[in-house]
Amino acid sequence: MKLWAVLLFCAATLFAAETYYAVEDLDVREDGVLIEAKTLKLANGIGQFFYESGKLKSETPFKEGLREGLAKIYYESGQIKSETPFKNDKIEGLKKEYYDTGVVQTEVTFVNDEAEGVGKFYYPSGKLQGETPFKKNQPEGITKLYSPKGQLIRTIEFKEGKIVKGFDYNDQGNKIELNRDELMEATKEEATK
């Protein structure tokens, strides 16, 4: 009886062990599926990349040659930089990016590899900087931007990814409509942040 228990434990441990791949262990087939370079079998495990210093830069889980699970990228300090959930090789779920301090920088939900729902963007302090609604990977609806004190300072309305109109808000909360040039400049500024 003890022998069976030991054999069962060993078999479970063997099959539960995760396979880790270095970049040179993997290759990409013509159809985009990841395979083991030596055996040409579909990759099943975790692909890892490292900084020149030897510290872990990223890790991505694979199942049957496709990204499946939570991929992570790290700063060289070891602090998490981003987390991206994959299902069947597509981004699916809440993707997060972080400042090097560990504070969340962005949160965007993805459905079938496209941004969907309200994306949130934060100041390094952790306070909300802005929120943008997305539909099929395009801004759709009213983007709101806040001051570090939490006061609404700008809104920009998007329809099918195109700018419709926008407003700045002064300290008293009064709306000031932005002209076309100001809107173009404002969205260019926001894109570089």
Q: Which residue has the higher pLDDT, 35 or 12?
A: 35
Q: What tokens does 151 get?
A: 């006061």
The sign of the torsion formed by the CA atoms of 150, 139, 187, 124 equals positive
Q: What is the mean pLDDT of residues 183-188?
A: 76
pLDDT of 191 = 55
pLDDT above 60 for 6: no
Q: Is the pLDDT of residue 3 over 70?
A: no
- The arithmetic mean of pLDDT across residues 104-124, rounded, is 97
Q: Nearest Cα to 166, choosing from 130, 137, 135?
A: 130
Give the distance between the most distant pair of CA atoms in the chain. Answer: 82
Instruction: Give me the pLDDT at residue 189, please.
Output: 60
Taking the C-alpha atoms of residue 27 and residue 24, their distance in angstroms, rounded to an integer, is 8
Is the overall model pTM greater than 0.85, yes or no?
no
Q: Can you tell me the distance from the alpha carbon of 57 to that of 24, in angstroms, rounded to the nearest whole number?
A: 15
Which pLDDT score is estimated for 149? Answer: 94
Q: How far apart are alpha carbons 142 and 8 in whole angstroms?
A: 58
What pLDDT is recorded for position 190? 55
22 pLDDT above the threshold of 50: yes
Stretch among 64-68, 128-132, 166-170, 182-186 having the lowest mean pLDDT? 182-186
The β-bridge partners of 28 are: 34
